[in-house]
Structure 1
Amino acid sequence: MSEPDVGAYRRPDNLSELLTLLDRRPTSVLAGGTDLVVMRADGMVDRTQDIVDIKDVSDLRGISLDADGTLTIGAATSLQELAKTPVIPPNAITDGASLVGGWQTRARGTIGGNICRASPAADTLPGVLAADAQLELASTTGTRLVPGHAFFTGPGRTVRKPNELLTRIIVPASLGASAYLRFTYRLAMDLAVVGVAAHLDIKNGRCVAARVALSAAAATPVLAPDAADALVGTELDEPSIEAAAQLVLNTATPIDDGRGSRAHRRTVLPVLAKRAIGIALERAREGHRR
């Protein structure tokens, strides 16, 4: 019996060549491969597509902080590097990166792959939304920036076009601090049953801006604007945080699945939100800025 047709394997060493390959024909992008290899083996990805391995493109890796405070993360930066980076203090994105799979998965998996996989339960995505990050997509015709909250269109679906590559995650300068927490039944190697990221900007003891984002609470990672708005103008005392945490339920539309019931998720979400807001507040008081 003959083997089925499979696509070619390509490994360009520069971004221009990589984008040209993406423009030629349907292609699967290989970064860490922690999802793609399994999906391809299971028939979830067309095996006739070429595989373009991006690991040799150095422009896609690294973490840098500009003089104005803008943070740039290369899409092919490993989750382990992001989780351990000394460039920025702990924040919602690094919290999420530190929780993905085991250390072997984090050593191979990339932030860009985690984002483009677009799992509603992905641990880095609420942090991306809470940070108000912009996602840079490149093709042979140029680049465009997409706000993180507008990038996801459904489970496993994004606005990225087949000939585009996620190249950078750009996080604006911030005077605030953030945190991400998730609930799982196991301590490691698990997907979030639910997760919450919170970002707080504080001035003269009052919250002047806030963002709260949820994972595994809807078909995509989502912002919870009612919860965030309830924090603004408060001194972030316990009653204010408690009230805001309850308001995440105005946004959450969880489902029943193998990891948890809708009712349980709605019970856990306010608890996680309160704790995530509390950690972000503690980090802000300690002088963390991100």
Structure 2
Amino acid sequence: MSEPQGINPNIPHSARVYDYWLGGKDNFEADRRVAEATMAAVPGVRESARNNRAFLGRAVRHLAQLGIRQFLDLGTGIPTQGNVHEVAQAEAPESRIVYVDNDPIVMAHARALLTGTREGKTAYIEADVRDPRSVLDHPEVRETLDFTQPIALMMVAILMHIPDQDDPAGIVKAFADALPAGSYLVLSHLTLDLVPKQIADDYLAATRSQAMHRTPRTGAQIARYFDGFDVIEPGLVGVSQWRETPLFPDTATWMYGGAGRKR
């Protein structure tokens, strides 16, 4: 891909590494080097990324079938197939979606590629999820979403990029407190719980020197993000086990996924 203005192609970025694992083309050589190095050291990481993407689609479809018509997608990532609005509006064309990311290249691609139905609305804002008020008070968010009606808060593979010192639990709570009862939280998160210790150690060694920050967390830590929510079946599980057979057989399960309904 060509180098967009203001983007340093020599610094790898998690969204572009993820795009590479998903088979996308919106990545640079630095991203590909990190992606390939991680794949070499960590068995099944690309399959896990693809299963995580499939989990997002299944979760959106399930909530749309339950009657949810509004989605706030935090940490959108570079658009690929099966985006939130595509899945939601295929079930209910009137669905309304807001995408949020703090990467200019992600937003440039989103605005160019993510077009919704005439009946619904699809909006995109550039903001940092670590500052919830900058998202919740944004005019586009307030114009697109009705905060008196249930909203699905999508935090898929985003919290693992937020270190403990930035208080990820506090960030989740700030967003959750703004949602009415009957809303949903959908999240997935990197974990080392579900892989053998040697593979976990190899992962930590492989990623320690990388420029991108990821924090694996335990199931117990991730479950606390659902405080105030009733987790729906099948609970907090490996993403490939959430409600359907995985598209890609797991060599190792690196991601927990789950959804909960706000009380």
Please classify the TM superposition score into its range, dividing by the shorter chain length.
under 0.3
Larger strand percent: 1
User: Highest relative contact order (Cα 8 Å, sep 6+), 1 or 2?
Assistant: 2
**What TM-score, normalized to structure 1?**
0.26
Larger Rg: 1
Q: TM-score, normalised by structure 2?
A: 0.28
